[in-house]
Amino acid sequence: MPRDDDLKACCAAAYSSDAVTLLLGDSYHPGGTTLTRRLADTLGLVPGNRVLDVASGRGTTALLLADAYGVHVDGVDYSPANTALAQGAAAATGLTERVAFTTGDAEQLPYPDGAFDAVICECALCTFPDKTKAAAEFARVLSPGGRLGITDVTAAPDRLPPELITLTARIACIADARPPAEYTHLLATAGLRTTRTERHDQAMLRMIDQIEARLNLLRLTAPDRLTAAGLDLNATPAILTATRTAVSAGTLGYTLLVAEKPRAA
């Protein structure tokens, strides 16, 4: 089993590669920007709020929130390459006064206690080796009364088929995903009270279809780009098939959760 730092580096490398953009497009998670807006609306974001986007990738969510909701966003990502790309995107869209990106670890967030009105983490908690520590960090940087918004892969780990417990499946946000109730318990341990849970499994099925269609097109038109990006062309179709079957069976899903940090007594 790889060490935690190795897992983080492996995930960071994968999600900063061109392969991810080739297969997923600009938004790296099921539901895309539509589900991001749903999450932001559920959090009740208003202009002037300070928001932290954990595992901010190339900046899609942070830039959307700053532009559409008038909030100030800090994005933190483990990959220096993603941080640089996100900073470039902020400059290109004229949002540098409301968005800043930093390279950092979700399990050791480089921000002071109580700095944010809201924390968002999309399709990433399932990849963190120490989820308990990450949840505690989310709670630490939230101000009293602040809210945490998560969208993530959920799973019944004891029912996953062999194809979905490999390192590749872990990087694909599957192998270490947990059931919704376990995430709720994880957040409660960190002092956060879950106030809303929504299932969005159909969004995951749509993303699988999208990936499969793009993969088939690229195999015909640009196979070198896939191999150069490090994709295992033999393993990927089996993982997609197993993922679709698991979602249809209820073993895998995609869930939106909102939790709140209690106000001081």
Q: Does domain 4-255 fall into CATH 3.40.50.150? A: yes
Higher pLDDT, 55 or 19: 55
Place of tokens 């902020």: 90
pLDDT in tens, 153-166: 998 877 877 766 65
Question: Do residues 181 and 156 touch, judged by C-beta distance below 8 A?
Answer: no
- pTM for the structure as a whole: 0.83
Whether 36 shows a pLDDT value over 90: the answer reads yes
Residue ranges of domains in the chain: 4-255
Nearest-angstrom CA–CA distance, 263 and 265? 6
Q: What is the pLDDT of residue 64?
A: 97
Compute φ and ψ for 147, nearest 5 degrees: -120, 145
Question: Do residues 78 and 55 touch, judged by C-beta distance below 8 A?
Answer: yes
pLDDT in tens, 128-176: 889 999 999 999 999 999 999 999 999 887 787 776 665 454 445 565 7
Say if strands 142-155 and 193-199 run parallel, antiparallel, or are unpaired: unpaired
Q: Tokens at residue 22, please?
A: 């080739």
DSSP 205-244: HHHHHHHHHHHHHHHHH-HHHHHHTT--TTHHHHHHHHHH
Would you give the DSSP letter of residue 17?
A: S
Model confidence at 220, in pLDDT bands (50, 70, 90)? confident
Q: At what angle do helices 235-248 and 201-221 cross, to 10 degrees?
A: 160
